[in-house]
Amino acid sequence: MRFWFSPTSEVPIYRQLVTQVVLAILAGDLRPGDRLPSTRELARRFSIHPNTISAGYRQLARDGWTEFRHGSGVFIKNNATPPSTPEQILDQHIAGFFRAVRELNMPAADVRRRVAQWLASPPPDHFLLIEPDPEVREILLTEIRQLSTFPVVGVSLEDCAKPEATLTAVPLCRPSQANAIRPLLPAGVELITLQIRSARAWLDSWLSSLHGGLIGVASRWPDFIEIARTVLEAAGVENDRLVLRNVTRPRWVRGLDQTAAIICDACTAASGKLPSGPRICIFPFLADAARDELARFS
């Protein structure tokens, strides 16, 4: 295991030793039964007083991380209980970060500088939905605003390339757009891809309740209408039972009041223009996994 020690740090050397060993255990770099370097070896390698190393090893033993085997040395103790508290889980993630850093063989000073830059950057305060299709953008914005109190704005691919666009933002996109969007974002900016719900699986759950009568399909996105028509007809719904409406066109509501049910997107449902008689079946674009991801920012 590689150790870092800074004699100029305000953190005592023995505490630096304890922290690095604990993080290595949580990250899996050190496993039960692994032997730590001897006190004499560490003291000689880093020009540290042996008593300082001994103090660190005694602290590790008191905290239950290590055990001393007479005549053999200090070994990692077998603590089978996995991390359970938020603090322990956070420590595990931090440990994983430092494990990845060690594999890069970066100097400790460079690591501290980069971490300091991240910590000094302003925290995110809104979602940034990056979507080239303006109709899909409006639908997704409607769903996101219904799922999270975290503010959200939508932009095109061209606008997301502007440096100020991603400042304090959490960028979001559909999986199909991720490869085009990532090269446009500044280095180090995380892009969250929102999992999209399966249209076929969702419609299957509604088909049993759509027997008889007319079925309306209304959306501002032409592909939504085409996908719904294709799946419904493939499932055995006759074409003459479908009333298809693009809500961006004039008088799109005409005839929908004669249907038994209307399949629509969240934006169309939120418009308040659908007739009150038919059953409204709102297709949510975002899958449950994406909804859970967004809800964490509320």
Using the Cα atoms of residue 115, residue 116, residue 121 and residue 122 in order, give the sign of their dihedral. Answer: positive
pLDDT at site 270: 95
pLDDT at site 198: 84
CA distance 203 to 180: 30
pLDDT at site 14: 94
pLDDT at site 172: 95
Closest CA to 78 of 126, 143, 32, 43: 32
Which CATH architecture group holds 13-119?
Orthogonal Bundle (1.10)
Instruction: DSSP letter for 81, please.
Output: P
| Domain boundaries along the sequence of the chain | 13-119, 126-193, 199-284
Using 50 as the pLDDT threshold, list the residues of the chain that sit under it.
none
pLDDT at site 80: 54
Q: What is the value of pTM for the model shown? A: 0.64
CA distance 284 to 248: 19
Tokens found for residue 280: 């409204």
pLDDT at site 188: 74
Q: For residue 147, what is the enclosing H or E element?
A: helix 134-147
Find the DSSP H helices in the chain: 13-27, 39-46, 50-62, 86-104, 108-120, 134-147, 157-160, 178-181, 199-207, 222-234, 266-270, 288-295
Cβ within 8 Å of residue 22, ≥6 positions away: 60, 63, 65, 91, 95
Cβ within 8 Å of residue 291, ≥6 positions away: 147, 284
Give the model confidence (pLDDT) of 85-111 as tens digits.
888 888 888 888 888 887 888 888 888
The helix/strand/coil state of 129 is strand
pLDDT at site 293: 87
